[in-house]
Amino acid sequence: MNNDFGSLLIDMKLFQNVQEALPFYKALFGKMKNSLAPFGVLFATKLTVALPFNFPKMLADDLTSKFTLVYSNLNASKKRYVFDGHKMLGQFFFAPGVNKLSSGFSVLTIGDVMSVAAFSDANCMADPQELVDHFVRINDSCMREVKDE
């Protein structure tokens, strides 16, 4: 199995509400579609894997000391998976915590099923479910607005 992946680091900008944030992030992620940055990250990832363990660990320690949360949003498939004639009911995954990162937020969409998960060290976030509930409320609100248009 040969998978190519790399993590793109993005400074998340805070907004008062989702309606202000959506155009900003749509433009930001739209720029990435024509960017060479994902390829640079991919080859940097491959290079660090090829180096002796101590070098990538030092780089990861330095990098992860600057961030508090890893966010992962995967659009896995446009159609629900079917196994042995049974349509999937749900799915989950957790964004991988790396070195000093102690909190993660994951969104995974397969077909019309979206799963949201959060994990954290209790010192960083007492109740990760609050973050998930907040995201689900915002998502529901956005989806209602889209349906009303």
Contacts of 87 (CB under 8 A, 6+ apart): 80, 81
CA distance 42 to 9: 12
Please report, for the chain, the start and end positions of each structural domain, with discontinuous segments joined by +: 67-148
Q: Average pLDDT for residues 121-136, to the nearest whole number? A: 84
Q: Which helix (H) or strand (E) holds 126?
A: none
Number of residues in the chain: 149
| Sign, CA torsion 53/102/66/23 | positive
Q: Average pLDDT for residues 7-23, to the nearest whole number? A: 78
Q: Which helix (H) or strand (E) holds 10?
A: none
Question: Among 5-19, 78-92, 126-140, which is the least confidently predicted range?
Answer: 5-19
pLDDT > 60? residue 93: yes
pLDDT band at 1; cut points 50, 70, 90: very low
> Quick count: other Cβ atoms within 10 Å of Cβ 44?
13
6 residue type, one letter: G
Does this model's pTM top 0.75? My answer is no
Give the tens place of pLDDT for each residue, 53-66. 787 777 777 777 77
Question: What pLDDT, on a 0 to 100 scale, did the predictor assign at position 7?
Answer: 64
pLDDT > 80? residue 49: no
pLDDT band at 97; cut points 50, 70, 90: low
